[in-house]
Amino acid sequence: MRVGFIGLGSQGGPMARRIVEGGFELTLWARRAASLEPYADTAAKTAGTPAELGAASDLVCLCVVGDDDVREVISGDDGVLAGMAPGGIIAIHSTVHPDTCSEIGKLAAAKRVSVIDAPVSGGGPAVEAGTLLVMVGGDEADAERARPVFATYADPIVHLGPLGSGQVAKILNNLLFTANLGSAMSALALGESLGVPRERLCEVVTRGSANSKALGSIAAFGGSLDNLAPIAGALLQKDCRHAATLAAKASAAEGAVFDAADAALHLMDHPR
């Protein structure tokens, strides 16, 4: 399978490297030539436009930031779809709204190209260890065709259902992570008011039954959100907004988990 990859950031870059090192024919495209330089020592080829990349690929993986970025690289005269042949697959690794996946799916279907959503969790270290979590939505046969490529950097690869279901799972995962950030910060602030330094409480809880990925992230940044907020804040805000629209569409009660997430996002806007 010929693979194209767009989105060579801190997470997508290691994913692309694992693909080419796994023996797949890989083509890359980036807006900035500097983003392609780290792959000069690999067998990866480069394309002049997303359309050129699409023409050279059976599977195109996208790991750009948000909904508008996905639309931009896929559509238009120079977009991926303009070059892809019928029977190809587009995998959206970006975390976007499920409706965006449906929108792209309709555009692609007109060209007989399939779309699967495949958001990820775990970050660069998980990619390098081959243990990235991939949450897949879309036709099961398309997911199975893409699985050998995903397996170069991911384990587990979980197929969740129709197109968009991978995004639902990722958005809910990030909603709960954000709520956990809020709960952890509240506990650390309470401990500090009772005379227990944040750093020491982080050390205790990360070794105890209340440990969580959220608390571990806070501990890694010195017990506060000051340094974590610029990295994760905007992305988590985007995902919590998506969660709110999904909950409204499902007529679901937002409840305490949204309240805790809101508290965490407020702290990210006004870290202390």
What residues are labeled active site? 170
> 101 and 94 in contact (C-beta within 8 Å)?
no
For residues 28 and 4, the answer to whether their CB atoms sit within 8 Å is yes
| SS3 state at 120 | strand
> Phi and psi of 120, rounded to 5°?
-130, 160
Residue 234, C-beta contacts closer than 8 angstroms, at least 6 positions apart:
none
Rounded distance, CA 105 to CA 232, Å? Answer: 28
Cα separations (Å) of 202 from 67, 186, 211, 222, 225? 35, 12, 9, 9, 13
Q: CA-to-CA distance for 221 and 226, rounded, in angstroms?
A: 8
